[in-house]
Structures are given as C-alpha cells and as structure tokens.
Structure 1
C-alpha cells in the first residue's frame, strides 16, 4: 500500500484593484510571501487583460493558471511546484443592474497532495451576497467532487465581515483559516488604514492550517499600503 505524504502549501489571496496602484510594491509583497498559489480578485478585465495578467504573474515569479475577464476578475496563479489537473471559470447567478461576479477554480497537485482551490469576489449588494455565499459553496463542492479532489480551499474578497450571515454560511462547511491559526494581522481593509476583515481563506476541515493572516512579518506595511486598497491573506496549509 502506498501512503501519500502530506504537503505544506502556501496560498495567498489578494484583491489587487485592477493593478491601479504601485505594481512594483505589489510584486514585492507577493514575492515576500513565497506563495505556491495566488488567488487574485480584481485582476484586469478590459482591453489587454490577458497580457496584463501574464505580466503580473511574471512579476510575481508565477504562471497564469486560469481566470481574468471570463471569471469577472478572479484569477489563479501558481508556482513551479504546482501541477494543474483541471480548471474552470464561471459566472455566478446575475441580477440585472448589479455587477457580474464569478469564480476561477482549479484542481491542483503539490507533491502527492491534491486539492481544489478557488478565487471569488462577492457582491456589494446585501441580498445578492447572501445568495452568493451558498452558490459558491455549491459550485466549489461540485467541481471538487467531479475532479476527485475533495480537499477545498476557497479564497476571496467577501465584501462582508466575520459576524455576517454570509460567513455563517461559509463556515458551516469550511473553516476560517484565520480563526484556526491566526498569525500576522487580521484586518485586510483598507490597506492604508486597516480596520475590518473583508478578505479570507476558507479550507475544508480535512486540511490543517499552520498559519493564516495578513503577513505583516513577511511583507512591509509600507509596501502593502501602496500596492492595493486591500491587504493580502496568506494561509499555510498542510494537505
């Protein structure tokens, strides 16, 4: 019998505000975290977005996996240790007059450990956001089941706080990585004056979180303050 060895994976979630801020500082922040996977929200979505995504990935020392405009700005990037076995983009259910939201998902393998990772960005509208919390779980579970990678990591800008009904929905099925193993700082918004947590990494309970939070011990706050209007969340997870 072959026993699969657990792997420790570094996963970064980051709303990059369509690269409208200091790109050199952004690259310094990401590289300081040495991520295996980056789940981006608000990647470029308009003219030249593919070229912009490739340039951003190269600045981070990573490759584009999937996403961008066809996932409403959600994008997955990965490093050399990561093997991609399946990938998908989709749009969440839309309501007229509201911004179209989406997801980028991939089934990945690091060493002998396989898992599903997804990036999403929920609505600013309260009612739509509550619906989307359930929808992203359904979509994530369906993809993971189909690809036989049941360990799940969901990253994103959830436009809500930990006391919201959306977080109750999400944590009914997944663990909040910050609550499991907090390290660094909690608040992700705003980058210049952090006072709230809108961004998070959620993991299925078969994964072990080693640390999670804004990586203030790795990246300089001065860089984070000018790289985007959000701060990133780094989760180090054993799968």
Structure 2
C-alpha cells in the first residue's frame, strides 16, 4: 500500500523533474502552440528557470531547473502535449505539457505504478470555488486502493509576489491527492499551483498533512 500511495505523492516532484523516459509514447510533430492569452505559453524557445527547495530532510535541499519549450509535440490518448527540454544541471530530460479544452496538464510515466499518468492542474474555464475529481483504483498486493485527485480553483485574477517579483492575472489551484479510508476521503498531500497569464506556472507548494515539504518558484523567464 505504501508504495502506491508514495507514487501518488511523487506527482509533486514529477511536475518539474522526473518525466524523463517512456518508451510507449507515439509520434513527434512540429507544431507550435500559442501564446499570451493562456496560462502556459507554448512558443518555441521560451525559457523558465525555477528554484526548488526540498524541505523533508534534515536540511533543505536546493535545486535549479531550466526548462526550454521546443517546437515538437506528442499525442497521448488523443491529446496534444508540447515537449519541454529540462535540465537540473546534472541531468537532461523531456517534460510534456498540454492544453486541451481549457485543461492544463502534464503527462508522465510513473515507474512505481508502472503506467503513464495525465496530471491536470488547471482548468481556466472554471469559476472560483469550483472543484473537479479524477478517480482511479490501484491494484496492490494488499488489495485495491481507491484514490482520487481533487482540484479546486482557489483564486482567480489575483496578484501574486514570488521571489520579489509581482505577477498579475494569476489563478491559484489546490490539487489534493486523496485515498479512501472507511468510506471517507483522506488527503495525503496537497499541492498549490500558481499560474500567471502569459507566463505559465510561477509557483508550486506541496504539503503533507499541512506541513510544507517542497516548493518550486520561478525566478527568471523569457517568453518568445
């Protein structure tokens, strides 16, 4: 059971840094995405630099990720995802970001679960206070686990300051990874996303049982 639940928690760090290899991903194409009116630009050559802090150990661990949008896409389950080349200074890998019918998501392969996962973090057509749920059942040696990812629009159109820079027209979402215990949904981890219009994701903050364990913050970017 722990292995499967920890795999769900790993979604937090997978968003910026572990979507590295999946041999079951079909065909590349060379289409560019737009632009300034979305909460994730897809223009080729755009660059985002994130400062990440892992707070779970004895001392905070710092990391820097540089992500560059390419001109290539891949299609998973009839949805288009743009390929981002990322590096943490020691390793280079690909990430997959999509915008399909107002839903912003990443697509990743989870080795613990042995399958690929689409992880949606924003729907810009939803109103403040709206929530939606993606449910799934995981098979383990101890039996089946009922799990779900619940996403809520916390704020829309706000200003947000991150690393001394203020962003406008920001949407905040809260993603809760939950599992069922005696017919009650229990939140294992919650992840707050902040996305600025025309910029992309500017901050991610993950907590386990109310304690902040991971944060990733934008400190520099160039939108082409």
Bin of the TM-score, shorter chain as denominator length? 0.3 to 0.5
TM-score normalised according to structure 2 size = 0.38
TM-score normalised according to structure 1 size = 0.36
Higher helix proportion, which one?
A: 1
Q: Which has the higher contact order (CA 8 A, sep 6+)?
A: 1
- Higher-Rg structure is 2
Higher strand proportion, which one?
A: 2
